[in-house]
């Protein structure tokens, strides 16, 4: 047995479930069960404090705005083509809107599509304007702007409008599917429930991942396990199993709980506990090696 070597083993079901339970407890607000954490101000605040290089921070923001515009453009094309489609469902939706058929589900599908078009168009305008303005800010000034209330709100606005558009889009799509297959009974409920489950899985997964990124200082250019690349022979630098790495990252989260709500001091080098946790894990693995 070599010094610092970590014992490799297959985790038990209890250990796997324990990690999953801890990951699901990472979201701090009930809203994060419906909206992933990267749409909250805390994400932008940590993003600002974690990158000392202004050029890197501006590139991240501009890339985000660009991706939002691409997604929204695709959504807008689907919404407009659906509402003005010559197909039977498109014609029925327009007829229900024209005749004010409030008790017809197609009327509410049309209302949701109209609201979605408005939300998507305004979100594209907001993202395009933010992209143009933030791309002109100098490297030395981007941090000052991002730490201001107007700067933070400006970076959040396209994401918030994207959320409104996405939820409206998801709502009218589900309602349309239900109307189209409602005569089949079980299949309508099965499809809608399946879509909701997949949507919730996306939110749960990325809210947990986003909080793990924040609470382990992973946004920073410094390694989470600071010093693991040194010549210290206590550290086994061989790749760990995914389960073991998740356990280590969760230990870093626990160690950072006392000050991870203060982004201004969270990314100071002396606040990094990752290396000590790595060494402790390596020692325990070596002691338990059979």
What are the residue ranges spanned by the domains of the chain?
A: 12-36+189-285, 51-184
- Residue 274's pLDDT is what? 46
- Residue 115's pLDDT is what? 96
- Residue 286's pLDDT is what? 42
Question: Which candidate, 2, 18, 3, places its Cα nearest to that of 244?
Answer: 18
- Residue 264's pLDDT is what? 63
**pLDDT 10s digits, 18-52:** 777 888 788 877 888 888 888 888 888 888 888 88
Contact partners, residue 163, CB within 8 Å, separation at least 6:
35, 39
**pLDDT 10s digits, 62-119:** 999 999 999 999 999 999 998 898 888 889 889 998 988 888 888 999 999 999 999 9
Cβ atoms 282, 8 nearer than 8 A = no
- Residue 161's pLDDT is what? 94
Across the chain, mean pLDDT equals 79
**pLDDT 10s digits, 231-258:** 444 445 456 677 777 877 888 777 776 5
**pLDDT 10s digits, 185-233:** 677 778 888 888 998 888 888 888 888 888 888 887 777 765 444 444 4
Contact partners, residue 228, CB within 8 Å, separation at least 6:
235, 237, 274, 275, 278
HSE toward the beta carbon, residue 42, CA cutoff 13 A: 17
């Amino acid at each position: 047995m070599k010094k610092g070597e970590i014992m490799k083993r297959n985790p038990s079901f209890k250990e796997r479930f324990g990690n999953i339970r801890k990951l699901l407890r990472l979201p701090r607000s009930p809203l994060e069960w419906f909206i992933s954490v990267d749409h909250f101000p805390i994400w932008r605040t940590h993003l600002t404090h974690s990158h000392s290089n202004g050029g890197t921070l501006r590139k991240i923001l501009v890339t985000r705005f660009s991706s939002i515009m691409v997604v929204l453009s695709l959504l807008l094309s689907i919404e407009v083509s659906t509402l003005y489609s010559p197909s039977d469902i498109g014609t029925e939706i327009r007829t229900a809107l024209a005749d004010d058929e409030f008790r017809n589900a197609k009327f509410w599908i049309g209302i949701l599509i109209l609201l979605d078009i408005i939300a998507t168009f305004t979100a594209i305008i907001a993202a395009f304007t933010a992209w143009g303005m933030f791309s002109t800010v100098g490297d030395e000034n981007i941090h000052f702007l991002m730490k201001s209330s107007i700067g933070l709100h400006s970076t959040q606005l396209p994401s918030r409008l994207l959320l409104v558009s996405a939820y409206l889009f998801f709502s009218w799509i589900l309602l349309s599917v239900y109307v189209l297959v409602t005569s089949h009974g079980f299949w309508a409920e099965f499809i809608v429930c399946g879509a909701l489950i997949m949507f919730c899985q996306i939110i749960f997964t990325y809210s947990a991942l986003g909080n793990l990124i924040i609470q382990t200082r992973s946004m920073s250019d410094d390694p989470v396990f600071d010093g693991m690349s040194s010549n210290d022979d206590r550290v086994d630098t061989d790749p760990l199993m995914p389960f073991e790495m998740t356990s280590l990252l969760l230990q870093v989260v626990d160690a950072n709980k006392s000050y991870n709500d203060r982004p201004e001091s969270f990314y100071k080098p002396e606040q990094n506990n990752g290396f000590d946790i790595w060494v402790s894990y390596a020692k325990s693995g070596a002691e338990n090696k059979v």
